[in-house]
Amino acid sequence: MAIQVEMDGRLFNLHTKDSTYQMVADQHGILLHTWYGKRIDGENLADLIFHADVGFSGNPPEAGENRKYSLDALPQELPSDGVGDYRESCISLVHEDGSMAADFRFESYEILPGAYQVKGMPALYDGAQGADGSMTLVINMRERASKVAVQLLYGVFEEENVITRALRVENRGESDVILEKCLSCCLDFQFGEYDMITFSGRHAMERGFERARIRHARQEVGSRRGTSSHQYNPSVILCGPDATENFGDCYGLCLVYSSNFTASAQMDQRGQTRAVMGIHPEHFSFRLKKGEVFDAPQVILSYSDAGLARLSHQYHKILREHMCRGKYQFARRPVLLNNWEATYFNFNKEKLTALARQAAELGIEMLVLDDGWFGKREDDNSGLGDWFVNEKKLGGTLKELGEEIHALGMKFGLWFEPEMISEDSDLYRAHPDWALTIPGREPNRSRNQLVLDMSREDVREYLFERMTDILEHAPIDYVKWDANRSICDIYSHVYTGDRNGEVYHRFVLGVYDLLEKLLTGFPDLLLEGCSGGGGRFDAAMLYYSPQIWCSDNTDAVNRLSIQYGTSFFYPVSSMGAHVSAVPNHQTGRVTPFTTRGHVALSGSFGYELDINKMTEEEKELVKGQIADFYKYYSLTHEGTYYRLTGLNERFCAWEFVDEEKDHALETLVMTSREGNPLPVHTTVKGLSPEKTYRCSENGHVRSGRTWMNSGLTLSRVPREYESVLIEWTAV
């Protein structure tokens, strides 16, 4: 059984194929966390907890004279604020009398078939007709002195080695309660040392890999920007100090949320490690009236005893098969050409159709019209919010342009930035209260734009009406949904006063609501997420957009580190990646056209340049790259991904292996080159030991076991920035 309950309903084991998560409600109703790791047989491991009289760690009243029982030392599932656990808490309440204690005790449990859902937010779902056999454990907790209840929700995806965690808070009392902190997950480790791997960066350099030992000082990443952010990704790994790609214990925590978040870890005074994850408590305050419920977002947990690679594979599979949805969840995405780096705002119908004609001749399947097609929008200082087609600029209707592109055998895509508004817009002049600005204060501007209050239903109704009108009256197959600034100046004219602490959360719920309505109305639409590139690259957005623009930085060498960091949690099929012009618009670097193509092949493939300025040789290369995209699609988008090198080496290499293990593809990019160069040797992974493979690099035929044990030495050392594709084919 995936969920095993013993001890008269007080001992809970959540079993996946290779792991077990165990908790037990003790004699005082404290829900203790006893184990998460390799699969066990389900015996009660509460005896692993060492009880001692810990100085300055108090004892709850039920403990009586037992000074060895302290919440400040116990591993818990729901550590709460103000009742004697001085470590990081998951929940904090303010009661009517101003007191701030939150003392939750076990009450009951329920086992349900299938995957639970989180109201208003994305969550992992079961496959067709629940065939995956996932299960849900609901544990009911009650606050001792008030009538606040918490439901802890645990989902078990047994074959995928995934356990999910979320919680629901309900006010069952007569008076209001203010929820000031509500984190979704706590992991307490009683023994061992751990590293914390995080993915940090900035605009155009997202998801850089960082690894540091967890010490007594609190180590935290997070966002207060209103999006999951370029700066930190809402996914972290805790692993043993000796863990590598292929060895060691690794624990992943991936938050299904697109707004402010926190993820922290800290060693306590007794050497125990606590990791928590959820909505960032800063700028968060949620008033619950009688009968009202607050749902916290889901955290996806996964454990690997075989290193980082297996952990990544488990996340790739669960996100691709149980988070992504819709027509393009598994269908091959079209090869696209985005006009942005070709024209920026300076385009007309003739330029666009010229791009489309040349693109069609080369085998490109879709033209995407980026920013500048609506309102008064000749630069990024005006027009946002006025979602009306600028027919004068286009020289006709959007329908006519789309039909002309379709007549070439191509699809047609369109850029939107629905969450933003320009002060120089008809919408702002008509509804200044729709923007997030604080009365009496001059607002902060970013990219000379403000943010619409997406918590307001009337704002979402306007956006849905305008987007629907455009999508219904033109043949549009794809939408790029962008958001080009962080959020501040939080003030809602609807959620006023002390309700303003709810706005960040209600904002993202509004974004999800509009996305859901749009995709329900246009189920065949391919949506690509974007926030200045990778500023909202998170699991929740994959629920709506099976691909996300990985970064505004299209430099092939910078993309190596960006896509490397992204790969630890997110499948390659979700990474938007394009071939762009050189010198690169972000870095000025010149890289070979072939290298740019090979890097972009490890993503949802496309082009971002003026193809009418390409040489005939480059045009032939485009045809070959598109042929490679088709040829290798089952590998790059459906196969198993392996990181063969880390960063900061002379070369970067990665590999794909198809499901049958008949075909493997390695990509290698030389990032630096010296005189009298050393040989280039790479490992080989994922082949079947019993099968025999021919290598395209040297024509040698060897068993999969031999290839994986011996690796491959290239016959020559590539030039700097040169790339190589190497295939292994079963014979």
Dump pLDDT digits (tens) for 538-586: 999 999 999 999 999 999 999 999 999 999 999 999 999 999 999 999 9
Average pLDDT, rounded, for the chain: 97
Catalytic residue among 538, 555, 608, 658: 538
**For 197-241, what is each residue's pLDDT tens digit?**
999 999 999 999 999 999 999 999 999 999 999 999 999 999 999
Per-residue pLDDT band for 613 (boundaries 50, 70, 90) equals very high
Residues in the chain: 731
Instruction: Give the pLDDT of residue 128.
Output: 52
Give strand ranges (E) for 121-249.
135-143, 148-157, 162-171, 177-189, 195-202, 205-213, 219-223, 235-239
* pLDDT of 130 higher than 50: no
Residues 6+ away with beta carbon under 8 Å from 678: 650, 717
Please list the residue range(s) of the chain that carry CATH number 2.60.40.1180: 643-730
Q: How confident is the model at residue 648 (pLDDT cuts 50, 70, 90)?
A: confident
- Is 195 assigned a catalytic role? no
How far apart CA 718 and CA 276 sit, in angstroms, is 45
pLDDT (0 to 100) of residue 727: 98
- ∠238-243-245 over CA atoms, to 5°? 105
What is d(CA 729, CA 731) in angstroms, rounded to the nearest whole number?
Answer: 6
Q: How many whole angstroms separate alpha carbon 634 and alpha carbon 641?
A: 12
What is the CATH number assigned to the segment(s) 643-730?
2.60.40.1180
Q: Which two three-digit tokens encode residue 321?
A: 């098969």
Q: Cite the residue boundaries of each domain of the chain with CATH code 3.20.20.70.
A: 336-549
Angle at 260 between CA 259 and CA 261, to 5 degrees: 110
Q: Distance of alpha carbon 116 from its chain centroid, rounded?
A: 20
678-695 pLDDT per residue, tens: 999 999 999 999 999 999
Catalytic residue among 159, 391, 610, 618: 618
Which residue, 142, 17, 40, is CA-closest to 91? Answer: 142
40 with 31: CB under 8 angstroms?
A: no
Structure tokens at 123: 């969550």
- Percent of the chain with pLDDT strictly greater than 70: 99
Q: Give the CATH architecture of domain 336-549.
A: Alpha-Beta Barrel (3.20)
Report pLDDT for 63. Answer: 95
Peptide bond into 583 cis (omega under 30): yes
How does pLDDT run across 496-509, given as a tens digit for each residue?
888 999 999 999 99
Fold designation for 3-322: Beta-galactosidase; Chain A, domain 5 (2.70.98)
Q: Identify whether the C-beta of residue 625 lies closer than 8 Å to the C-beta of residue 579.
A: yes
Q: Which residue ranges does the chain devote to CATH 2.70.98.60? A: 3-322
Is 380's pLDDT higher than 80?
A: yes
CA dist 325 to 90, 125, 318, 520, 535, Å? 31, 10, 12, 12, 21
Mean pLDDT value of segment 16-27: 98
Interatomic CA distance for residues 203 and 535, integer angstroms: 7
Angle at 78 between CA 254 and CA 509, to 5 degrees: 50
Residue 640 has pLDDT above 50, yes or no: yes
Q: Looking at the predicted structure, is the pLDDT value of residue 132 above 90?
A: no
Nearest to 728 by CA among 180, 236, 92, 708: 708
Is 538 annotated in the active site?
Answer: yes
Question: In 343-361, which positions are buried (b, 16+ CB within 10 angstroms) versus exposed (e)?
Answer: beeebeeeebbebbbbbbe
Would you say the C-alpha torsion 577, 583, 589, 592 has a positive or negative sign? positive
Mind listing the pLDDT tens digit for each residue in 403-456?
999 999 999 999 999 999 999 999 999 999 999 999 999 999 999 999 999 999
Eight-class DSSP state of 419: T
How many whole angstroms separate alpha carbon 68 and alpha carbon 643? 47
